[in-house]
């Protein structure tokens, strides 16, 4: 336990907590393994529409709703109210609880300390894994010589988590009460909120209007919201007796706070013990990885990121090795593979399961190929030939045959053995930004990383067919890979630049943009490119794209380069893959580096140095998590989704698989 405590080591000091601008930029996240979560800022104020206390997934992990947005908290010291909470209104901050905050830690869950006169108070917030249930606990710390009266006013909305809520006459102010619990249901279309408490409750409905979300304002989105507050809780805290609120949608008449806290503490301690043998960066990424594995039906899924992403096929299978295989979550990996294997349609797996509705979206050229790669990695880690043969192998053959004969969006294998795809208005690769009818990076034709994935897929098909006694299928895969490799070598090398074309055979001819996609050839198919050419590629990528926190998506020397990811929707999407830095690309970069320069101690030390920038970042945005993207230019401010699955998974994969013990 001491070793785990030493590895945690993340605390935010009083000076930072009391610096409002800085504390509003530091976020925290608690997840429940069902798609629900609670999140906010170290300052206590909500700065996004997605910040909430009780946010649940009605159809896990989808259909997410905000039920309880916030708690307003006041401590009453001899008749003098002192705030613990903070809120933002037009031109005003009220209350100002951040001014009393003396520290914040995310371990084992978000915990604040406040100094209110002579009293030191601790507040804790946690999600209980596997349940739509949030616990908030207040304690007087050792040394307190008096009791304190705490008043709590919950703020509710009852809305889709993508939207904002405004005062309206349709909201119901009715209340149900029982022994130690109270329940409200502002709208019949969403679940009722049940709160278990230790103290007194006074029903006194009121509206709190024009709450401000500055992050939404920066992005040109609706940034005001009205909250409905049903009433006020009041209870007395003593040094011997903490007080707890439990917020849930579960239909039960009793809950034991001590038992809930103990069970969750034990679960997290077990998770940290698994990772305790690793260095601090690996340890923290391992812990962060737990947030993204969620329930879907009777199995599991990967959420691409918090707070707004759902489960995406591409993200899932890029992330699978880092989230599930190197961490030993092999059962979850098998369930995820099985889930997607049942959804193959015309040779494609779903690119996205939408928040509403049942129909998956099939609009990706690469997600299906990442599925094949992930299945092969799963088999290598587990030796689970039985499940791969019965569940994944039929899906793999459907995918390979679908690409051979052609499928949606003109995705097909051409006579040269390479994969082409694309049509007007479609964005098929991971560089998928689109605003209205404007596809920012269409990449129609033959994108370089798609060829790497296709050559890898044919190799997987050959090996599995040999293993499963299908020699004709294996021979076909072998012939097609040889054709693809020869065509690739002939067509993709750009001698004048010393690197690979990003796209060939597109409507505008070969695209010599310096982008990171070529790394996947070196990472997935190290036999394809001669070593001297591979070294030249890495030199170009290092000079133009590598930053301390990831790789740029376009060279700064390119006139289309966008140094900042900022502004409204059009400006941000226009920069998304035109220079913006993506940390998940450190995964293929490190693998490519080691494939090319070898795995000596010196080479591994150099590769490890590429990840150092993430160590500081873990304390700088969503604490303990890795952001989706960063600005292309220094100081590389974090942007986009503050907690992203593949941003955690790919660095974690290479830290364990490439730079640690190999399996």
Banded model confidence at residue 2, pLDDT cuts 50, 70, 90: very low
What tens digit of pLDDT does each residue of 257-311 get? Answer: 999 999 999 999 999 898 989 999 999 999 999 999 999 999 999 999 999 999 9
Contact 34, 58 (CB under 8 A): no
**Is a pLDDT exceeding 70 seen at residue 355?**
no
What is the arithmetic mean of pLDDT over 60-89? Answer: 94
Percent of the chain with pLDDT over 70: 97
Q: What architecture is domain 278-658?
A: Alpha/alpha barrel (1.50)
Whole-prediction pTM = 0.95
560: left (phi over 0), alpha (psi -120 to 50) or beta: alpha
129: left (phi over 0), alpha (psi -120 to 50) or beta: beta
**Is a pLDDT exceeding 60 seen at residue 403?**
yes
Instruction: Kindly give the pairing relationship between strand 243-248 and strand 175-178.
Output: unpaired
Place of tokens 């969620």: 294
pLDDT at residue 143, rounded to an integer: 65
Residue span(s) of the chain under CATH 1.50.10.10 come to 278-658
Contact 386, 398 (CB under 8 A): no
pLDDT at residue 236, rounded to an integer: 93
Q: Residue 451: CB partners within 8 Å, gap ≥ 6?
A: 418, 419, 484, 488, 492, 521
Q: What does DSSP assign to residue 352? A: B
Distances (CA, A) of 257 to 81, 150, 262: 27, 18, 9
Residue span(s) of the chain under CATH 2.70.98 come to 2-268
193: left (phi over 0), alpha (psi -120 to 50) or beta: beta
- Tell whether omega for the bond before 523 is within 30 degrees of 0, i.e. cis: no
**Is a pLDDT exceeding 50 seen at residue 31?**
yes
Q: How many residues does the chain have?
A: 663
For residues 614 and 620, what is the distance between their CA atoms, to the nearest angstrom? 10
Instruction: Give the CATH fold of the 2-268 domain.
Output: Beta-galactosidase; Chain A, domain 5 (2.70.98)
């Amino acid at each position: 336990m001491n070793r785990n405590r030493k590895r945690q080591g993340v605390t935010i000091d009083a000076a930072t907590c009391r610096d409002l601008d800085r504390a509003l930029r530091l976020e925290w996240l608690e997840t429940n393994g069902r798609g629900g979560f609670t999140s906010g800022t170290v300052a206590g104020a909500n700065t996004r529409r997605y910040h909430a206390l009780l946010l649940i997934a009605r159809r896990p992990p989808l259909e997410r709703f905000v039920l309880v947005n916030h708690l307003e908290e006041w401590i009453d010291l001899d008749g003098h109210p002192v705030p613990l909470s903070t809120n933002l209104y037009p031109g005003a901050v009220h209350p100002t609880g951040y001014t009393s905050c003396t520290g914040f830690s995310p371990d084992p869950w978000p915990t604040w300390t406040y100094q209110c006169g002579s009293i030191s108070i601790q507040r804790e917030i946690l999600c209980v894994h596997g349940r739509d249930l949030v616990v908030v606990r207040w304690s007087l710390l050792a040394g307190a010589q008096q009791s304190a009266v705490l008043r709590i006013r919950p703020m509710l909305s009852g809305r889709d988590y993508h939207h904002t809520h405004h005062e309206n006459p349709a909201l119901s102010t009715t209340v149900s009460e029982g022994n130690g619990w109270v329940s409200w249901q502002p709208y019949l279309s969403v679940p009722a909120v049940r709160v278990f408490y230790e103290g007194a409750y006074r029903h006194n409905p009121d509206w709190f209007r024009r709450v401000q979300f500055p992050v939404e304002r920066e992005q040109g989105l609706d940034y005001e919201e009205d909250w409905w507050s049903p009433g006020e809780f009041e209870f007395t805290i003593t040094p011997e007796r903490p007080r707890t609120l439990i917020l849930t949608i579960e239909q039960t008449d009793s809950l034991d706070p001590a038992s809930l806290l103990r069970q969750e503490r034990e679960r997290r301690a077990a998770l940290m013990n698994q990772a305790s043998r690793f260095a601090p960066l690996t340890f923290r990424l391992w812990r962060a990885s737990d947030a993204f594995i969620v329930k879907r039906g009777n199995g599991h899924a990967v959420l691409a990121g918090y707070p707004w992403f759902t489960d995406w096929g591409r993200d899932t299978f890029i992330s699978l090795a880092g989230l599930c295989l190197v961490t030993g979550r092999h059962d979850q990996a098998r369930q995820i593979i099985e889930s997607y294997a049942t959804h193959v349609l015309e040779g494609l797996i779903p690119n996205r399961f939408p928040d509403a509705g049942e129909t998956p979206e099939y609009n990706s050229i690469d997600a299906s190929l990442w599925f094949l790669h992930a299945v092969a990695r799963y088999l290598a880690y587990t030796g689970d030939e039985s499940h791969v043969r019965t569940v994944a192998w039929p899906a793999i053959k459907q995918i390979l045959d679908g690409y051979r004969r052609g499928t949606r969006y003109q995705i097909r294998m051409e006579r040269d053995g390479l994969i082409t795809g694309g049509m007007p208005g479609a964005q098929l690769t991971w560089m998928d930004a689109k605003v209205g009818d404007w596809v920012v990076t269409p990449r129609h034709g033959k994108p370089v990383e798609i060829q790497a994935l296709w050559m890898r897929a044919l190799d997987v098909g050959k090996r599995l067919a040999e293993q499963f006694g299908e020699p004709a299928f294996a021979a076909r895969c072998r012939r097609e890979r040889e054709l693809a490799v020869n065509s690739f070598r002939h067509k993709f090398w750009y001698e004048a630049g010393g690197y690979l074309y990003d796209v060939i055979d597109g409507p505008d001819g070969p695209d010599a943009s310096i982008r990171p996609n070529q790394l996947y050839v070196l990472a997935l198919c190290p036999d394809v490119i001669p070593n001297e050419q591979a070294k030249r590629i890495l030199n170009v990528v290092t000079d133009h794209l590598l930053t301390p926190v990831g790789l740029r998506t376009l060279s700064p020397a390119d006139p289309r380069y966008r140094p900042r990811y900022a502004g409204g929707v059009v400006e941000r999407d226009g920069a998304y893959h035109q220079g913006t830095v993506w940390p998940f690309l450190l995964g293929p970069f490190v693998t490519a580096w080691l494939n090319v320069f070898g795995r000596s101690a010196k080479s591994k030390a150099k590769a490890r140095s590429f990840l150092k920038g993430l160590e500081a970042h873990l304390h700088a945005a969503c604490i303990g998590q890795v952001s989706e993207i960063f600005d292309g230019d220094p100081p590389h401010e974090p942007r986009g989704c503050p907690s992203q699955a593949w941003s955690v998974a790919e660095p974690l994969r290479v830290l364990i698989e490439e730079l640690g013990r190999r399996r």
